[in-house]
Amino acid sequence: MRPENKNLSKNMTNSFDGFSSSAPSTRNIKPSRRELKKYKVEEEYRFAFRTKTDLEFMDDGYKWRKYGKKMVKNSPNPRNYFKCSSGGCNVKKRVEREREDPSYVITTYQGMHNHESPNCVLYCSPQPSSLSYTSSSI
């Protein structure tokens, strides 16, 4: 999220192509992920909407932590994955730019918040649970 920070060290880990014995095995076997993956959310609430904005994405007042970036073939633009960083709140947000209209961004919310937004305290406005949508077609 740093547009001005374009100075990236090109000399990163170059000797990692092979198979390091004592090197950090990193992703050896992560049971945590396996267990989590096992969960088949049948009734997952998804709310997606398209908005015209020049910014990367809109901030609902929640704190989003980017946990991944992927480039889809359908779109020359990368897809960003965000996760709500809050205690017990595992809401995920997917932000992708329109292929034809770069000015448009598609924001997809996945899951529901377990806590009110930090901004809600400031605004003190009631938030109806009309965000629950079992949308099957994005």
- Give the interface with DNA as residue ranges (CB under 7 A): 1-2, 5, 8-9, 12, 16-17, 24, 26-27, 30, 32-34, 36-37, 63-70, 72-74, 79, 81, 83, 85, 92, 94
Nearer to DNA, 29 or 130 (CB): 29
Q: Closest separation between CB of residue 97 and DNA, Å? A: 13
Q: Closest separation between CB of residue 128 and DNA, Å? A: 26
Write out the H or E segment, with its range, that includes residue 110.
Answer: strand 104-110
Nearer to DNA, 104 or 128 (CB): 104
Nearer to DNA, 37 or 52 (CB): 37
Write the single-letter amino acid at 11. N
Transcribe 46-62 into DSSP letters.
EEEEEEE-SSS----SS
Q: Nearest to residue 58, comparing CAs of 9, 104, 125?
A: 104
Question: Biggest alpha carbon distance in the chain?
Answer: 56
Rounded to an integer, what distance in angstroms lies between the CA atom of residue 99 and that of residue 103?
9
Nearer to DNA, 7 or 134 (CB): 7
